[in-house]
Structure 1
């Protein structure tokens, strides 16, 4: 199959032939239809997150099931599916207590003595976050995907596999936004826009979008933002405090910078929570006001993939889209071919677009 191969940081990805195995007992072979381009992949391409090559990146995908293993019970050939990197075993302590995104069971991957799912130049290569979706096909554990209704457009469904599940989930699941709450979202890329949409779905009374790009702020209003702030016009924390007369109950950081993470905590009202979604460079330490933490009972927390229960959440989000309540069409800035993937990464670096989606020929 054709795939975009990452070799080393700073070098463009190359379109090459990559070998793919046949489904094992609990594995599913999927023909990739669409895959979104995410900053998590860019962090590896640019060397911020160290990862050895060669490697096939990509993790935000939708496709059609081509074949299933003998023990697969959740999907069948012909099903339309969305993948999710938070693959789960289903019976560890995390899974049984509803924290499926924290599952670390190795049984969802092939063992060291088994044939690798992917190979390059006839040598085994690792699979990126259980998916490796910048390719014409994916071979995954059955708990790395979920079937969806067939009238859902797959180029839009792909976004639900990461950006939407992560952003909307950060608001609904991790932050626990309730009707009437006040929310600030820092960063209006794909994940930030999804967090805004998720806060709106949860019934937030006021949603403040914060970004340096005016066009993204304007777009955020379509997703549910009631107020917008551009840090170019002054300290965003001070702007939020003045706008809300004391701070927000929930701040969701979707960029991944020390400064913005600290700002998220600083703009909280008493009892508020700051949820960090953006990937901060390893080794960076955050500085927080201890009095605000203790006396104000403010909290700071991480959110992995929106604390999702994706077999339930993804079909629900698909329904929200079909009802017109989840905005996906507006999030797609451009559709490109796999051969244009390096151009897509250039757009990610510029930070001017919401989401680029790679669409495979059908």
Structure 2
């Protein structure tokens, strides 16, 4: 069987639409006809070369939803016809981290960038002219059909639109969880969100839903500031300096309770500014992934020690995909979580490079590839 897919041959590089050969389905796997896939900055890191995958060529894309067409031996909880969303992080359910309720740190996640199967490192399910082709996060959602581990597929209510549902596989959980889980936002908190794109806008929603009295968005693009004000931000500023000053002005000079850094390509200085903006005992949450080739930092160490501040990393918003994705979709169905308005542009697979160009130009909150 063939699948049309967006393939990356080098990094930096440009995506090519090619026909790939799919291997027969194996035990523990499902084959899915893709219906929607989100364009995430994490994919673009590989395209521009900030990060390098473990194999070329590779199909990128890690945010997606579709319908199961075939189920491999040993798969018990999924069936042909089921609608599913992919968690870009697998959940083995057996490792130390899964057993302790930290599914986002599942040991299988170490293989995300290798392009290989989680359960069989060094093996692949796609090929081009007889040579193996990787799949980012063992998913490669920028393809018309994908073969994935059942550990990555979460069954959803078939009434939920695929385009909105696919966002919960990465962007929604990463941003929402960065505020609610990693930032520990509580009622009456003052929260700063640095960068209001596809991740940060969900941190805004999460902070607002957690009861923050002030959700301060920091974003240089004017329409994104206005968008944030519609989805839960109480104030919006162009720079972190303005936001930090305002946060201090409403907290007797203390500063925000938390700062969520969701800039697409953050620098050490961005993290340092977030840390400076929070009060004594406050939390700065690092979410965005910077250029892995650059080792920089600009952090005032006395903020960590003498003011007992915390610098907290956040992977997938410290979420539990098997329970949090269904919970977020249930919130969506009740009208408590806005997913539909996050989609500001739709593209065909053939137009995927334009989609990423628009993402980098700040034109989209979230672009989505829509399949037939």
What is the TM-score with the length of structure 2 in the denominator? 0.92
Give the match for residue 111 of structure 1: 120
Please tell me whether residue 184 in structure 1 is matched to residue 192 in structure 2. Answer: yes
Matching residue within 271, 279, 285 for 1:261: 271
Paired residues for 1:8-19 under 5 Å: 8-19=10-21
Unaligned runs of 5+ in 2: none
Other-structure match for 2:74: 71
The alignment of Structure 1 onto Structure 2 pairs a total of residues equal to 359
Structure 1 unaligned spans of 5+: none
Partner of 2:161: 153
SS at match of 1:9: coil
Out of 272, 275, 285, which is 1:275 matched to?
A: 285
Matching residue of 1:137:
145
State the Cα distance separating 1:112 from its structure 2 match: 5.3
TM-aligned CA deviation for residue 131 of structure 1: 0.8
* Mapping of residues 269-308 of structure 1, within 5 Å: 269-282=279-292, 283-308=294-319
| Residue 248 of structure 2 is aligned to residue 241 of structure 1 | yes
**2:216 and 2:243 in contact (8 A); partners too:** no
CA shift in 2, pair 1:179/1:74, >3 Å: farther
Please state if 1:317 is matched with 2:328. Answer: yes
Q: CA RMSD in A?
A: 1.8
2-structure distance, mates of 1:297, 1:223: 32
Measure, in 2, the Cα distance between the counterparts of 1:108 and 1:200: 38
- The answer to whether the Cα contact below 8 Å between 1:80 and 1:149 also exists between their aligned partners in 2 is yes
Superposed displacement of residue 285, structure 1: 2.8
User: How far 1:108 sits from its partner (Å)?
Assistant: 6.5
Aligned equivalents of 1:144 and 1:8: distance in 2? 26
- Which of 199, 210, 217 matches 2:207? 199
In structure 1, the residue matched to 2:103 is: 100
- Is contact 1:331–1:355 with CA below 8 Å preserved after alignment? yes
Give distance in 1, aligned partners of 2:237 and 2:225: 8
Deviation string, structure 1 residues 87-146 (Cα, Å, up to 9, x no partner): 0211111110011111124796242575x2111222112221121100011211111120
State the TM-score, normalized to the length of structure 1: 0.95
Separation in 1, partners of 2:101, 2:262:
24
1:31 aligns with 2:33: yes
Does the aligned pair in 2 maintain the 1:42–1:348 contact within 8 Å? no
1:109 aligns to what SS in structure 2?
coil
Cα distance in 2 between the residues matched to 1:118 and 1:324: 39
Alignment pair present for 1:333 and 2:344: yes
Q: Is the 8 A contact 1:163 1:191 kept in 2?
A: yes
Q: Could you say what secondary structure the match of 2:275 adopts?
A: helix
Distance 1:288 1:10 in 2: 30
Matches of 1:208 and 1:270 in 2, distance apart?
18
In structure 2, what is the Cα distance between the partners aligned to 1:200 and 1:134?
32
